[in-house]
Chains A and B, each alone.
Chain A
Amino acid sequence: MPSGRKIVSGLGVLSLLCLGGGCRRDAAPLATGGVAAPHQVAVDFNRDIRPLFNQHCVACHGGVKMSGKISFVFREEATRAGETGRITIKPGDPDHSELIARLTTRDPEKRMPPVDHGPALAEAQVALFRRWISEGAKWSEHWAFVGPKPQTVPALAPGSRAGPIDAFVLDRLAKERLQPSSEADRATLLRRLSLDLTGLPPTPAEMAAFLADSSPEAYLHQVDRLLESPQYGERWATLWLDLSRYADSRGYEKDLGRSVWPYRDWLIDALNQNMPYDRFVVEQVAGDLLPNPTFEQKIATGFHRQTQANDEGGTDDEEFRMLAVQDRAVTTWAVFNGVSFNCVQCHSHPYDPIRHQEYYRFLAFFNNTADADYFNNDFPTLHVPNRRADFVVARELEEQIRRLRQERVDAGQKLQGESGMWTSLKALSASAEPRATFELRDGEVYATGPAPSATVRYEIQAELPAGEVTAFRLEVPPLDPVKARHSPEPGFIVGEIEAAIVHADGREENVPWDSFWPDSPTWPVARQGIIRRMGTKSGVAPASAGPGTDAPAPKAPAKEPTFSDLPPGGFASIPSLYRTRWLVGVPAQTVAAESGARLRLRLQHSRGVDDFDKPTPVRRLRLAASSDTRWTRLAAATKSESHWVQMNQLEARLLAIPGTEVPVMEDLPSGEEREMRVFSRGNWLEKIGEPLMADVPALFPPLPAGAPRNRLTLARWLVAPGHPLTARVAVNRYWEQLFGTGLVETLEDFGSAGAAPSHPELLDWLALHFQNDLHWDVKALLRELVMTATYRQSARITPELLAKDPRNRLLARGPHNRLAAEMVRDQALVASGLLNPERHGPPVMPPQPDGVWATVYNSGNWIDATGPDRYRRALYTFWKRTSPYPSFVSFDTPARDVCALRRIPTNTPLQALVTLNDPVYHEAAQELARRMKREAPELPGQIAAGFRRVTSRDPRPEELKPLMKLHAQALERRLEETESSTKPDQIPPDVDALSAVAEALLNLDAALTK
């Protein structure tokens, strides 16, 4: 048996901090679970056998190693011969099963597990294996991978009015011979309820109203009031900020700012509007792919744009793009399905039946977005107006720009693709300034040597057939086009293109351009500022730009001084080259070439993608010419009102609307998809096997036949009926938020190595109820949970309960948990009256100690807010990944580098230092003291008023006594000091003494818990 259990049961009066392996194993079934005694019931694979495999075998014989070619993850693998040629498990025949032989042999060389890995299995365990094999070695899927089954609500004693949820809990308690606790007193109830539903304690007025309401629906009315309160969305958004790894900075070295807070505001609004959970999932995963997506639906996709970006000098953008893609896949599994997926990157899942290749099939859903770890740029972004009223016009402008861009591409693309359109131009020479090495092969130019400089200028001469030329085509193919589809080559940026005809007599004639026709609507767009002119810096937005101001608005594109009308941003493929890119240039006048004339082309690489001037040269070039006059006509038709000019105007209008550039998900256009293959042992530089189509692991229900293999299909699949996990994971998470521990304690792992549910029937019942009866209505679910008698129980722990169920997994008492970091701050602000209840908007910077921010290569500063932004709710605090707000960290907030699925509460001295000494709390104590003084004429009344504001209840006489004493002590000290001091009194002595009391109040156990 796991060692942890002994400790818990033998613990007596000491509780255990939840730590480590021991803790997780505690979570295993209490009295009735675990290994069943032999000879009683039939062996159950999931209950009896799989845990043994997981604990003793799969580390070597699982999805990772398959030592001796044996694995116990899939039945077909376990029932065949291993390397020795002997059958590992022969169903029905334990005596000819190598497993049994190796478990029982006395030969230490052969015994399993090997001596240095662990002791031999107990006889009872071996007996279980024997019986299981005799009974046919029946394999069944891990419970969580099989859909929830309809459950019969346990029958209760006649006359009981308990609802179904309570019935499951009571049924279990009866089996454990435990009685539920009585209902908590009303003050405690309202405090618990208010903090759970809104993150804020009740005000004295709210409390008084509730206490005075003697109607049977009094509690229900409070539940409904709180669910409808606008603070509800703020409290539950906090949970989703952890899950979506929300941060106001990009991560890694520079950790520059990122303006993604409109996504946070979207969360608040969606939750307040009680968006059904299924829609909530779909919009976040694939809102951009919904038909005619709204602005809000696009903002919702910010969920997966919270991935880190690395702006450190000399990073490979493709590497960090790939990491973001992997993070999206892993986060999708973790957040919505409670399945750990990371390990499948390198090998098959160590203990759950998910195969290596399935990871990459799944990754393919996310591999086609346009973002690419651009330097200090979150392209693609949406210009989100500050005022909601401007959403419509902004959306219309975005649409128009998109349409224009597409039209431009369509027009050129159609002609470009016609057969017989192009005559290849054989390259005759190539040179560069500064010097570079070229090779001419099959009429093409190769520049495969090292790039001499980022500003290299190529000059290429090519044969020109005698006759007329109406258009030139420049093609930049990858060196290895097949490989580049999945493993792209470095990209290129050409900023200027100049053409001339070198006539046979040596005369040079410039060819002015009329227009250029690009191959893709995703060509880099100047507005996004990804490509800058060489030598200019990106104008790194300091992370401190946040509070009060919007991120600096990108400047409207200035007409760049080029001698060619290139698309804004140039002819480029950045940061990498996946496929052959082309650009058609139409000369202002049709070129007439005589025999012997040559084309001279100059390509100026003149811009950088980051601040490090990394060269991005063309490495392969192919030229062609056309004599089709339709090019001339096409150019003429768009001459007067060029698309660029129109687009520039529209973009200028869009950017003139005050707003924020918010990163969103956007797929590459069809035909430009990246190819996915398996990474060899998880190494992204080495891909193997065939191209993979996006798909979900075979363990799960299949995607609907014929549906497009994209994120939208995936998102809908997540919430489709029959998915075994999504609803279970959701109800479990809401349960954990209210009760402190999930029905499945390991919120992050529903797999076979996770904890077994404490109330499996209840979990299934809730999951089905949430989907089928409540139609994913989250507020309705929460309402049912907080209405249960289970939730409303008193949290009092009797010695008997502490001994039998120290961690309250059986729910014979009500929840009693420490406030989350955000609640600790918000409560102090509410109690003192300092809270600024403003909702939404850019992140704020309440005071933090000097010098906490000092990031390398980042000039951002933390500037303590002095105005009302000093007192906003915690969730609006600027969240910098590499330097989180220190007082939150002490109270267990995660860094949000990756999605945080569970906060493990701790109880440490550093927390005491925060609530005692952080100026925020000191200020709150002083304000609270002033309030206390105003609220009652006499000291006991004043202290009681403060006590109520902080703990939501009246002090007991024994609690009042030490606080009164403290007041007397503080007053005496103060008067002594005043006598010896020459300084004029700032604060009246009695308020000062009350401040000491208020400080104590904010630090009471009753204040820090709910």
Chain B
Amino acid sequence: MKDRESQLIRELETQRLEAQTRRHFLRTCATGMGAMFLSTMANRAFGSAELDFTRPAVSPLAALPPQFAAKARRVIYLHMAGGPSQLELFEHKPDLEKLNGQDCPQSFLAGKRFAFITGTPKMLGPQAQFHQAGKSGTWLSDRLPHLERCVDDLCFIRSMRTDQFNHAPAQLLMQTGSPRLGGGASLGSWVTYGLGTENQNLPGFIVLVSGGKTPDGGKSLWSSNFLPSVYQGVQCRAKGDPVLYLSNPAGVSRGLRREVLDAIEEADRQEHAALGDPETLTRIAQYEMAFRMQISASDAMDLRQEPPEMHAKYGTEVGKESFANNCLLARRLAERGVRFIQLYHWGWDSHGSTESEALNLGFHAQCRQVDQPIAALLEDLKGRGMLEDTLVVWGGEFGRTPMQENRGGQANKFIGRDHHPGAFTIWMAGGGVKPGFGYGETDAVGYDIVENPVEVRDLHATILHQLGFDHRKLNFRFQGLDQKITGVKPAKVIRDVLA
């Protein structure tokens, strides 16, 4: 009986989502594109074999319905650049404590390539205390006291793995599906290519960077590569213009700009009358959008509009470049219909070669920088009813070794761990993933995956599935191939983590 009931509820939910996406899409069409656009969309029946991502030239980011009913409408991806240590955050490994200081078994080393570990390193016990938290009884380290409040909303994948052990290639793999610069288009680009965005006055794919550095993979991490450049990520910044070149030059007021644009438009209409090139009309539309974007992007990025209690909740400071500010911005952008919001926070490369990289020192501060804002973001989204259709993803590009790093054969000055591609933890929340759930398992010291390994391409397939796409169908013809983010190797949706 219970089963039938839940099945019924699922069906109703699916119907609701379908109606929602279609209704939304029809509204967009009615206001903008007209009947011509509609006729192109007729090709895009749910589940059709070949999807069509063609849009009218005036609106290359026009929202398109997903391939099938989606649980998530947008993504907030929190990338912890540098590779956060799963062993100090989410992976409770009491046995590792027992082995602390002992030589690493040779079986761990044979045939393995490391970035820095040399010779025989020592095992390194957890540098944090763990306890069980929430109704789910999830083991969590004491580094994340705020996130603990949300632990029952999180869905952990403890068995992520990658085949890249250097930052730039590993970040590129995580974000573009290819470890090579220029190899693939970024996840955010794929999603905005597939779905467009809901607010034409803001970019559909926005990138926010903190931690003082651009991540190792550079701006290639949000490159659209072979996809048209309208789908590349637009970096918004805390200092200077939130979007490059957003504000008028000194001495140009908004009123004057309006007059300039009016003159341009009138002259362009003459040009169109003379040449008849529809691109001219498109250009007029783009200039108008730019004018609106000046207001809407400034507005979206203006944290002063938030009440004091919100600043207290996130730990934000207006005008500062911080992860906390970016989390609050992420919520503001999500509210405004931005499709893909990508945060990067540098500083997780805990080698132990400097104090800031030490797991027993700098790592504490690093965790404090993200703990409160992430919890605030999740609670804020939830409070606004947005968590259910926002997929939040947290993770780095690889994990860290259960061995202590010994660069050049000698233990590093501070306590740290080397890069570990073989096993790491990510979590997701909202967007139709199972809350308070853990998937996959590593061995007693967190070195090898013993159950349910998840490849990066599986993660991508799962994210796209939540957004309403079969990852094989979200493709783009380039160099004779239907390029897709999951590449040519088989990828699978991790059904077990879906609610």
Contact = CB atoms under 8 A, between A and B. Distances in A.
| Contact-size category for A | 35 or more
A310 B263 contact: no
Interface in A641-666: none
Nearest to A23: B54
B54 A20 contact: yes
A751 B214 contact: no
B244 A21 contact: no
A1000 B275 contact: no
A500 interface: no
A959 B264 CA distance: 9
A251 B270 CA distance: 46
B466 interface: no
A850 B282 CA distance: 31
Contact of B290 (A614, A857, A913): A913
A970 B256 contact: yes
Nearest to B37: A14
B1 interface: no
A454 interface: yes
Interface in A845-859: 849-852, 854-857
A333 to B, nearest CB: 11
B481 A350 contact: yes
A895 B218 CA distance: 11
A4 B244 contact: no
A889 interface: yes
Nearest to B44: A3
A251 B181 contact: yes
A19 interface: yes
Given A323-B180, A855-B213, A912-B286, A749 B480 contact: yes
B426 to A, nearest CB: 21
Given A253-B167, A895-B220, A996-B256, A913 B245 contact: yes
B229 A16 contact: no
A10 B36 contact: yes
A27 to B, nearest CB: 10
A118 B216 contact: no
B266 A314 contact: no
Nearest to A799: B276
A798 B209 CA distance: 48
Given A906-B228, A913-B290, A1005-B271, A312 B167 contact: yes
B399 to A, nearest CB: 15
Contact of B249 (A351, A856, A922): A922
A963 B239 contact: no
Looking at chain A's contact residues, the main secondary structure is: loop
A882 interface: yes
Contact of B216 (A4, A856, A908): A856
B447 interface: no
Contacts of B212: 854
A918 B245 contact: yes
Contacts of A669: none
A217 interface: no
A15 B480 contact: no
B234 interface: yes
B55 interface: yes
Contacts of A613: 407-408
Contact of A340 (B220, B268, B481): B481
Given A253-B216, A316-B113, A892-B229, A802 B278 contact: yes
A343 B180 contact: no
Interface string A882-908: 111011011010010110000010111
- Max chain A Cβ within 10 angstroms of own Cβ: one of B36, B276, B293: B276
Interface stretch (A445-453, A477-485, A557-565, A624-632): A445-453
Nearest to B216: A253
Given A897-B181, A917-B245, A314 B488 contact: no
B176 to A, nearest CB: 11
B333 to A, nearest CB: 16
A1006 B271 contact: yes
A895 B263 contact: no
B142 to A, nearest CB: 29
A315 B270 contact: no
B109 to A, nearest CB: 7
A909 B475 contact: no
A561 to B, nearest CB: 22
Given A613-B407, A963-B263, A1000-B260, A907 B293 contact: no
Given A3-B50, A751-B480, A913-B293, A882 B55 contact: no
Contacts of A956: 270, 274
A996 B259 contact: yes
B219 A22 contact: no
Nearest to B115: A314
Interface in B383-417: 407-410
Interface stretch (B16-24, B88-96, B116-124): B116-124
Contacts of B119: 449-452, 615
- Max chain A Cβ within 10 angstroms of own Cβ: one of B169, B282, B408, B410: B408
Contact of A882 (B53, B219, B419, B478): B219
B194 to A, nearest CB: 10
A649 B36 CA distance: 76
B218 A882 contact: yes
Contacts of B240: 849-851
A17 interface: yes
Interface string A974-1004: 0000000000000000001000110110011
Given A10-B36, A795-B277, A850-B239, A962 B169 contact: no
Nearest to B111: A685
Interface in A48-105: 64
A754 B480 contact: yes
A966 B262 contact: yes
A912 B290 contact: yes
A886 B482 CA distance: 29
Given A3-B43, A909-B290, A973-B255, A17 B234 contact: no
B247 interface: yes
B217 interface: yes
B493 interface: no
Interface string A1-36: 001101100111111111111111100000000000
B283 interface: yes
- Max chain B Cβ within 10 angstroms of own Cβ: one of A4, A119, A882, A955: A882
B290 to A, nearest CB: 4
Given A883-B219, A1005-B280, A21 B286 contact: no
Given A312-B167, A895-B223, A908 B259 contact: no
A1003 to B, nearest CB: 5
A253 B166 contact: yes
A978 to B, nearest CB: 12
B355 interface: no
A833 interface: no
Interface string A95-133: 000000000000000000000011100000000000000
B362 interface: no
B182 interface: yes
Nearest to A999: B260
Interface in A905-952: 906-914, 916-919, 922
A255 B215 CA distance: 12
Contacts of A19: 53-55, 60, 193, 228
Contacts of B480: 340, 350-352, 746, 749, 751-754
A909 B39 contact: no
Interface string B253-297: 101110110111011101110111111101110110110011000
The 10 closest A-B pairs by CB, nearest first: A882-B218, A314-B115, A450-B119, A897-B182, A753-B480, A897-B181, A15-B278, A962-B266, A912-B290, A898-B182
17 contacts: A14-B57, A24-B477, A316-B113, A450-B118, A612-B407, A856-B167, A892-B229, A895-B219, A911-B286, A956-B270, A956-B274, A959-B267, A969-B259, A970-B256, A1004-B267, A1004-B271, A1009-B277
Given A614-B118, A922-B252, 6 more contacts: A118-B50, A881-B220, A884-B219, A890-B229, A1000-B264, A1005-B280
